[in-house]
Chain A
Amino acid sequence: MSIKILHKGLADSIQDIGRYGFQHLGIQPNGCMDLLSASLANSILQNDIHTPVIELHFPSSQIQFLEDGIICITGANFVPVLNEKSIALYKPILVKKNDVLSMLQPLEGSIAYVGIKAVYDSPKWLNSHSFNTAKLKTEDVLPFSMHPSNPIAMKTLNENLNHALIEQVHNNIFSNTNPIRILPGPAWQDVNENALYELINTPFTISAQRNRMGYPLTGPKLNLNIPNAYLSSAVTRGTLQLLPSGDLIVLMADHQTIGGYANLGQIILVDLPRFAQMKTGISFKFSVANLENAQTLFRTMYATF
């Protein structure tokens, strides 16, 4: 018993924190694009951090609950409505059997998460519920076993809401116009100085061809001093690949495990949720971080969960 997809969205899926340990076989990590917002939904619901969430892009799936339960929506504000009544983000929400959740408008951000106070009764593949290719389809039934949704459970969750944390995470992702920080990659020395200057000083935008594999960028064309043909080596989530056309693409959650194009740098982990959530066409800049600081920031963020 469970949740039904009434109408499929553009590219929605079930995601958790993804899988590691199989990249040497070419198996991608997958997982939530914005792990921070997804973790926050689970944290608000006092779920285990590994509980899968529904990742919604826009236009989003229309979802029907087939039993009573408690959910929490985080990440992008797509103006969620439950049976056409507006509902809040970042709060536990009571849903009744047959209630329908729809998303009206991409007001803020690019990816919304629906956390569910439930156990997901589906087998994992290699330690994760995230699958590279499994988009949610109309009529899909997702086997979430809902946690009993009594008033006491709601009261407990509401009493334990950490408003400061919620505001901090939300502001960090959505009200932060600072540059996206990167650490230089192995091909940094292979681009000419002018291209490095442009990489740091010229605004870029995310192009509409974005998907879970990567975000192509629109911006200045960057040139290499050498042919753009490297022996393939491992890439990560957040790798800035320079394509032979001179354009950049940032690799995201469903990235291939190896890449043979110039690796200019990687976005630091703490800035990835903010980058993932940026809307198409919005200008941003890159800046250069340092490793020590990037890790300290990550530890601080990690410690809040």
Chain B
Amino acid sequence: MHHKIHNWTIYSLGDHAIVFALTPKMHISVLQKLKQLHQLIESKKINGILDVIPSYHTLTIIYDITLFLSPTQNVNDQLQLFSTQLLSEYENNALTINKNEETIHQVPVCYENIFALDMENISKTNQISCQAIIQLHTSKQYDVYSIGFLPGFTYMGSVDEKIKIARHPKPRNEVAAGSVGIAGLQTGIYPTNSPGGWQIIGKTPWKIFDPDPNKLAKFKVGDQVQFYAIGKEEFDSLNEHI
């Protein structure tokens, strides 16, 4: 199945998933629509939906074949009907779901040398002072476009063009949990110690992923993040990575 409704392209992913896609770009207008459609689907508590995964310009529904669809009707017809009805409900309710609560996180980051492994590199490559990098990185609110790679890994955008930098061609074997990095126009936070190629400019004392079922990921797609700079002493007093 592959069809278009308004700005949406809807297609099947394998035999147990369906994707709602918008124009492939990292943009707040795209993210807002995904977030609204996600909320609508969640609110409907549809039987047989296992996962709803937003990421940049796509919203993917993973479903249980036996619960989500009827064996007696054509699969494509059912999926087409489902998506048409869902998007028409979305259009009709767009005004009300538009007023979704905004979650803004003020996130402390220590940009000091011991954590900012690639600050010098970005400074040299982009011909910009470390102070200016910190100033630019903390000067705007970022939108969370995706969570993945690792449980809780947060992809945000967009950083100022002046601090845009490519990933390391060869990833580090280990990047510490809480590390804040830049990759292209994106900024991200490592939830756990892991290999990684992002250019690291600091570290947050916050644990952004906690396996405690009542906590899990600190951020979700569609949230906003504002970083602010803290010194090493304040980092130590706030440090949750213990």
Residues of A within 8 A of B (CB): 20-28, 125-126, 183, 185-186, 230-234, 236, 238-239, 256-258, 263, 265-269, 289, 291-292, 294-296, 298-299, 302
Contact = CB atoms under 8 A, between A and B. Distances in A.
B15 A231 contact: no
Contacts of A26: 147-153, 191, 209, 217
A268 B13 CA distance: 10
8 contacts: A126-B213, A231-B26, A233-B21, A233-B57, A236-B62, A266-B15, A267-B14, A292-B75
B146 A299 contact: no
Contacts of A265: 14
A238 B16 CA distance: 11
A228 B24 CA distance: 14
Contact of B65 (A22, A25, A289, A295): A295
Q: Which of A185, A258, A295, A296 has the most CB of B within 10 A?
A: A258
A23 B51 contact: yes
Nearest to B221: A24
Nearest to B60: A234
Contacts of A302: 65-66
A234 B53 contact: yes
Interface in B144-180: 146-153, 155
Given A20-B51, A268-B15, 12 more contacts: A21-B51, A23-B62, A24-B147, A26-B217, A125-B213, A183-B12, A231-B26, A231-B56, A233-B57, A234-B62, A298-B15, A298-B65
A269 B19 CA distance: 17
Contacts of B58: 231, 233-234
Given A125-B211, A257-B148, A292-B75, A232 B15 contact: no
B151 A25 contact: yes
Contacts of B153: 26
B232 interface: no
A23 B146 CA distance: 11
Given A25-B151, A256-B149, A234 B216 contact: no
A232 B74 CA distance: 30
A236 B17 contact: yes
Interface string B215-229: 011001100000000
Nearest to B212: A125
Contact of B14 (A22, A126, A258, A268): A268
Contact of A25 (B21, B50, B57, B217): B217
The 4 closest A-B CB pairs, nearest first, are A266-B14, A234-B60, A258-B148, A20-B50
Nearest to B150: A26
Given A25-B151, A25-B152, A258-B55, A236 B14 contact: yes
B5 interface: no
Q: Which of B50, B151, B220 has the most CB of A within 10 A?
A: B151
B69 interface: yes
Contacts of A183: 12, 14-15
B146 A232 contact: yes
Contacts of A266: 13-15, 17
Nearest to B61: A234
A24 B220 contact: yes
A209 B50 CA distance: 30
B54 interface: yes
A231 B155 CA distance: 11
A146 B80 CA distance: 48
Nearest to B17: A236
Interface in B52-110: 52-58, 60, 62, 65-66, 69, 71, 74-76
B11 interface: yes
Nearest to B50: A20
Contacts of A27: 151, 216
Contacts of B209: 25-26
B242 to A, nearest CB: 20
Q: Which of B69, B74, B148 has the most CB of A within 10 A?
A: B148
B172 to A, nearest CB: 18
